[in-house]
Chain A
C-alpha cells in the first residue's frame, strides 16, 4: 500500500491552536509521526522583562486561557518568595478555591473536547453546559470568566463573601451529580469504549522516560502530583487522593480527569466550609530585592514550573516558564505510532495540549563557545539538595 502523508495542522479542525503533526499513513495506520511547534510564539518571557512586577503578573496570566490562575499563581509565588512575604491564610484559601474551580472547569472542558474529537457531540454539549456553573462561580468570585486576575503580589484582590460561599457550594452539588452521571456514561456507552480503550498506549516506563506530567502521567499509573509531593498553599492540610489509573490509554486519561473533578469538589468543600479568617493580602514592599526563585504548581494539565530572577530593579530580570504541555509533547509522537488516523485527534487531545503556553524560543550563545553538560545524575543531586532546603527529602526515591 502506498504511504500517504497527511498533515494535521497547523490549521486543522482537531486543533484549537496552531501546531503541526505530520502523519505518515499506510492505509489508515500511522507508521510515523513528526511534531513541529512554534507557530504561536509570542515572546511572553521577553515581554515580561520590560514590565514592572504588577504588569508582568497580568501578562503571565495571559500565557494560557484555561489555566490562567495556575500561571499567575506560580509567578506571584516566586515574587512573594523573593520579597519574603508571608501570605495570609485567607488569601491562600481563596487561591486554592480559584485553582480548584479552574481545575474542574478545565477538566470538564477537556471532556467536551475529547468527546467532540470522537464525534460524540451530545456529551460535548452536556459537559460544556455543566461547565457554565463553574464559570459563573468564577465570575462572581473574581469578576471575570477566563482571566480571573484574583492574584496580587502579597495576596488576593477580592475577598469572598458568605453568600458567594453558599452559592459555590450549591453549584458544586450540581457539578458533582453531573460528574457522577458522566462516570456512569463513560463506563456504559459501548461506542465510547470502542474509541478510547487501548488507544494511545503509553506504558509506565515510557511515560517516565519521556517526562510526562499531570493527568497523562497519572493515567500511566504514576502517582505524581505537586499538590501531594511538594504541597503549596493549603494543600498540605487538605484531605484528597491522587487519582491514578493503570489503563495507560485514553480511557485511563478520561478516568483520571473525571475522578479528579470529584477530588476537586472534595477539596473545595473542605476549604469553603472552614474558611480561615483574617486579611486577604499583605502590602507589597515598594522595592523587590534581588534574588531568584523557582515554583512548581499543579496546573490542570500537569506540573507548571516558573522561574523568576530579580536584580533589585523595577522589572524582573528574567522570567522563565515551563508549561505542562511542553513536557507532555514528548509522549505524543510515541503514542501516535501504530494507531489509526482516526485516533490521532483523540490522542493529541488526550494530553490536553495548550500550544501557545508551550511555544518558546531558546537562545544558544555561540560566541562564548562555552558549554556545560549537566548529566541526569548531577541534575538529580541538585534537585534533591533544593528540596532538602525546603524540608522535603527525595533522596530515597
Chain B
C-alpha cells in the first residue's frame, strides 16, 4: 500500500505532473521575463503563464469540420505523457533518478522525439494549408537537429563509459575536470535544443508571420493549452537532462541544497536559451538544415572523437 502511495506521489506530485506543471509554467515566465528585459521591456508578471493556461482551458475548443481523426484531440495528451515519463529517468535534486537502468539515456532521447512527432501529426491532421506547411517543416527540421543533439549527448556517455544518465552524472562528480571536455558538446546541444523547442532562430515550424500558427493554427482552448504546456514541460525536462549529462547533476548534494543547485542549472540553461532567442533573426528552413549538417553535426562528431580519445587516454 505504502509503495503504491509513494509511486502515486512520484507520478502525480514530485517529480511528476504537478512539479512539471509548476516548473514548466515558471520556466515559461522566466524565459518571457528575461526575453522582455533584454529587449528593454517590462515583461509579464509571475502569474501570466498560469493565467494564460487557465484562460485557454476555460475557452471553447473548436474542432474544424474537416478534421476526421480522433488523434486531433488525443495528441496533446500523448505529448504531455511522453514528456512527463522522461522526468522519471533523470536525476533531479539528488544523484539517482527514480528509474535508472543501462541505456536510459537513449530511451529519454527517443521519448523526447514523441512530442515532435505529435506536432507533426497535429499539423497533418489539422487539414489547413498553414498547418500542413508547418508539419512538413517540423519533420524537415527534426532530421536536421536530432543528429547533432544525439551525437552531443553521446560524448559524455562515452567518457563516463555508461549509458545511464545517473552514472554519467556520478562520473562527472567524481571527476569534475572532465566537464570541460564536453563544453563544445553542450554548446551544440543548446543550439540543437532551440530547434527541438522551436525557438528563434529555429522557430520555423510556427513562424507566425509566414504560416500563422504553423501546426497549432487550428488548435484552440483546452487542446492548445495542453500542447503549449507540453512544450514548456519539455523545456524543463531537456534542461534537467543537460544538467545531469553535461554538468554533473546535483554535484553530489541532495535534499534542499541539491534542489537549489538543480534549479540554478535549469535557470542557467533557460537564460542561455533566452539569450540566443533575443540575439538572432529566424533563419529559413534550408539555411537551418545547411547549418545543422555543415556546422553542428561536424562539431558534434569532432566532440565525439575527442571524447573517445580522452576516454582512451584518461578513462
Tell me the chain A residues, 1-37 only, with Cβ under 8 Å from chain B: 4-7, 12-14, 25, 28
CB-CB under 8 A from A25, the residues of chain B are 133
Residues A119 and B284 in contact, CB atoms below 8 Å apart: no
Whether A4 contacts B209 by the Cβ 8 Å rule is no
Given A4-B132, A6-B130, A345-B210: A119 in contact with B282 (beta carbons within 8 A): yes
Residue from A5, A121, A340 with most neighbouring chain B CB atoms (10 Å): A121
Q: A119-B203, A122-B39 are in contact. Are A195 and B133 (CB under 8 A)?
A: no
Segment of A42-50, A110-118, A228-236, A257-265 engaged in the interface with chain B:
A110-118
Q: Which residues of A are found within 8 Å of B41, using beta-carbon distances?
A: 125
Asked if B39 and A119 sit within 8 Å, CB to CB, the answer is no
B280 and chain A: residue at smallest CB distance: A191
Q: Is B231 an interface residue (CB 8 A)?
A: no
Q: How far is the CA of A119 from the CA of B283 in the complex (A)?
A: 8
> What are the residues of chain B within 8 A of A125 when measuring CB–CB?
39-41
Complex CA distance for A189 and B200, rounded to whole angstroms: 14
Q: Does A326 contact B (CB under 8 A)?
A: no
Residues of A near B210 (CB, < 8 A) are 14, 341-342, 344-345
Using A6-B129, A120-B282, A125-B39 as known contacts, say yes or no to A342 and B204 having CB atoms under 8 A apart. Answer: yes
Partner of B133, one of A4, A129, A192: A4
In this complex, what residue of B is CB-closest to A339?
Answer: B284
Query: In the complex the two chains form, is B130's CB within 8 Å of A342's CB?
Result: no
- B300 CB to nearest A CB, Å: 20
- Give the one of A125, A192, A344 with max B CB within 10 A: A125
Q: Which residues of A contact B282 (CB under 8 A)?
A: 118-120, 191, 195, 342
Q: A4-B133, A341-B133 are in contact. Are A120 and B209 (CB under 8 A)?
A: no
Give complex CA distance A118, B209 in Å: 8
Check B306 for interface membership: any CB of A closer than 8 A. no
**B174 lies within 8 A of chain A by Cβ:** no
A126 at interface by CB-CB < 8 Å: yes
Give the nearest-CB partner of B203 in chain A: A119
Closest to A192 in B: B281
Contacts of B281 in A (CB 8 A): 115, 118-120, 123, 189, 191-192, 194-195
B residues in contact with A117, CB < 8 Å: 209
Distance from A113 Cβ to chain B, minimum over Cβ atoms (Å)? 10
Q: Are A191 and B283 in contact (CB under 8 A)?
A: yes
Chain B CB within 8 A of A61 CB: no
* Chain B residues within an 8 Å CB radius of A4: 129, 132-133
Within 332-368 of A, Cβ neighbours of B (below 8 Å) are at 340-345
Set of chain B residues within 8 Å of A195, measured between Cβ atoms: 281-284
In chain B, positions 194-208 with a C-beta closer than 8 Å to chain A are 200-201, 203-204, 207-208
**A169 → chain B closest CB, angstroms:** 24
- A122–B38 touching, CB < 8 Å: yes
Nearest chain A CB to B267 CB, angstrom units: 21
Confirm or deny: B211 has a beta carbon within 8 angstroms of a beta carbon on chain A.
Answer: yes
By DSSP majority rule, is chain A's interface helix, strand, loop, or mixed? helix
CA distance A62 to B107 in the complex (A): 61
Within 8 A of B (CB), among A97-140: 115-123, 125-126, 129
> Chain A nearest CB: distance from B207 CB in Å?
6
Q: Name the distance in Å between B36's Cβ and chain A's nearest Cβ.
A: 9
Q: Check B200 against A119 for contact (C-beta < 8 Å).
A: yes
Flag if B284 contacts A120 (CB, 8 Å).
no
Is B286's beta carbon under 8 Å from chain A? yes
Do A121 and B129 have beta carbons less than 8 Å apart? no
Interface string of B74-85 (1 = CB under 8 A from A): 000000000000
| CA of A397 to CA of B284, assembled, Å | 42
Most chain B CB within a 10 A radius of its CB, from A5, A25, A28, A117: A28
From B129, B132, B209, residue with most partner A Cβ within 10 Å: B209
Contact A126 B203 (CB under 8 A): no
Once the chains bind, are A345 and B280 in contact (CB under 8 Å)?
Answer: no
Q: Which residues of chain B come closer than 8 Å to A129, judged between CB atoms?
A: 40
Of the candidates B38, B201, B211, the one whose C-beta lies within 8 Å of that of A341 is B211
- Which residues of the other chain, A, contact B38 by a CB distance below 8 angstroms? 122
> Does B310 touch A at the CB level, under 8 Å?
no
**Closest approach, in angstroms, between the C-beta of B162 and any C-beta of chain A?**
38
**Is there an interface contact between A194 and B208, defined as CB atoms closer than 8 Å?**
no
Any chain A CB within 8 A of the CB of B183?
Answer: no
Whole-angstrom distance from the CB of A101 to the nearest CB of chain B?
22
Complex alpha-carbon distance, A189 and B40, angstroms: 20
Please name the residue on chain B nearest to A12 by beta carbon: B212
CB of B279 within 8 Å of the partner chain: yes
Q: Check if A116 sits within 8 Å of B209, measured CB to CB.
A: yes
Asked if residues B287 and A122 are in contact (CB atoms below 8 Å), the reply is: no
Q: Which of B40, B133, B207, B211 contacts A119 (CB 8 A)?
A: B207
- Using A119-B281, A195-B282 as known contacts, say yes or no to A13 and B212 having CB atoms under 8 A apart: yes
A129–B200 alpha-carbon span in the complex (Å): 21
B206-232: CB near A (< 8 Å → 1, else 0) gives: 011111100000000000000000000
Chain A residues with Cβ under 8 A from B200's Cβ?
119-121
**Of A6, A192, A343, which one neighbours B211 at CB under 8 angstroms?**
A6
Contacts A118-B281, A126-B39, A195-B282 known; list 11 others, CB within 8 Å.
A13-B209, A13-B212, A119-B282, A120-B280, A121-B200, A122-B279, A129-B40, A189-B281, A191-B281, A341-B210, A342-B210
In the complex, 10 of the A-B residue pairs with CB atoms within 8 angstroms, ordered by the A residue number, are: A14-B210, A116-B209, A117-B209, A118-B209, A118-B281, A121-B39, A122-B278, A125-B41, A126-B40, A191-B283
Identify the 9 closest CB pairs spanning chains A and B, nearest first. A119-B282, A120-B281, A125-B39, A14-B209, A191-B281, A345-B209, A118-B281, A191-B280, A342-B284
